[in-house]
Structure 1
């Protein structure tokens, strides 16, 4: 199986299944979450079978989807699934903030240093920007779910956060070019 197709399928398949069940059942989260959890677990198993490992991001995401989705179903309260993006983004921001104290360098450098050669100051700035970005996304998610309809939040979660992240990433190109080390 083509590796990029497999990645696309395992990344977006559970999401497509969620949308199918959500919109096919009168926009009901309680109906859409169990298939999302099952599809996420299947996607992680497929990745394991083909790759013999599961990357940290999909694994953490899968655990959190299962945990918060399970709480949403058990307590019949959507607040648990609403706060999942907030918690994930705060976890990422805190990892970027505290990571340098454990590794003596920005976490982003530790993760991406081999693929993007930047000066130390470049890594510091990039790390801080992403930390603030994740805190900002957490606050934005809190604002949206607390002030908008469930359907608006569901659509924002997918069609809003992804483009915001892509646009933010694009704005980092100037910084990367400025602090890039020529090898």
Structure 2
């Protein structure tokens, strides 16, 4: 059930933003998106008992760049938000790789089986590169296509792309998954 909540908390605001844009335009949709992101954060605290660091950063950027979009009546600000978010994640992860500190472990470890350190190092690097790719792709799309296409890409391109990339990590996870200790196998405690 927690995975369903997580999916709704993460994807819900984007779906609402997509629908709102088609009904009331980018500026009103941005205001709605800001409010829904804050509600999403509250839902995360209530339903999952935590607000992830990634959510704090994302909501902070949505409020700042969404506020600038509305205040200056310039949609460029909201379009830059994903580029900045992806770039921050990429820099953090790649810096972690350089420092031999796989920061991605702090975010994802609870949802994964125990793995060898080399798996975390490799995943950290791969996700860092993936976020660079996403930042570049976001820049290309918002600068090359209209706003409706950019919003549709957020929902129909970036989300599936992230899912496929995550699935592509399964062989790495399986290869470096630690064996369960013999005394824990078959235990019914």
- Which TM-score applies when normalising by structure 2? 0.82
Q: What is the aligned partner in structure 1 of residue 52 from structure 2?
A: 55
TM-aligned CA distance change 1:160 to 1:181, over 3 Å: same
Give 1:176 shift: 1.5
Larger deviation: 37-46 or 130-139? Answer: 37-46
TM-aligned CA distance change 1:43 to 1:127, over 3 Å: closer
Aligned runs of 1:67-146 on 2, under 5 Å? Answer: 67-99=64-96, 105-113=101-109, 115-146=112-143
Q: In structure 2, what is the Cα distance between the partners aligned to 1:30 and 1:74?
A: 9
Structure 1 gap segments, 5+ residues each: none
Q: Does the Cα contact within 8 Å between 2:82 and 2:138 map onto a contact in 1?
A: yes
Find the residue that maps to 1:99 and give its secondary structure.
Answer: helix
| Among candidates 138, 142, 158, match of residue 161 of structure 1 | 158
Q: Deviations over 1:22-47 (max 9, x none)?
A: 1113xx21121111111222232343
Q: What is the aligned partner in structure 2 of residue 179 from structure 1?
A: 176
Q: In structure 2, what is the Cα distance between the partners aligned to 1:53 and 1:113?
A: 15
Q: Deviations over 1:111-131 (max 9, x none)?
A: 334533222222221111111
Higher RCO (CA-CA < 8 Å; seq separation 6+): 2
Find the residue that maps to 1:112 and give its secondary structure.
Answer: helix
Structure 2 gap segments, 5+ residues each: 181-189
Q: Does the Cα contact within 8 Å between 2:96 and 2:124 map onto a contact in 1?
A: no
TM-aligned CA distance change 1:113 to 1:148, over 3 Å: same
Larger deviation: 105-114 or 160-169? Answer: 105-114
Find the residue that maps to 2:70 and give its secondary structure.
Answer: helix
Q: In structure 2, what is the Cα distance between the partners aligned to 1:112 and 1:3?
A: 14
TM-aligned CA distance change 1:97 to 1:22, over 3 Å: same
Give 1:62 shift: 1.3
Larger deviation: 66-75 or 3-12? Answer: 3-12
TM-aligned CA distance change 1:47 to 1:127, over 3 Å: closer
- Report the count of equivalent residues: 179
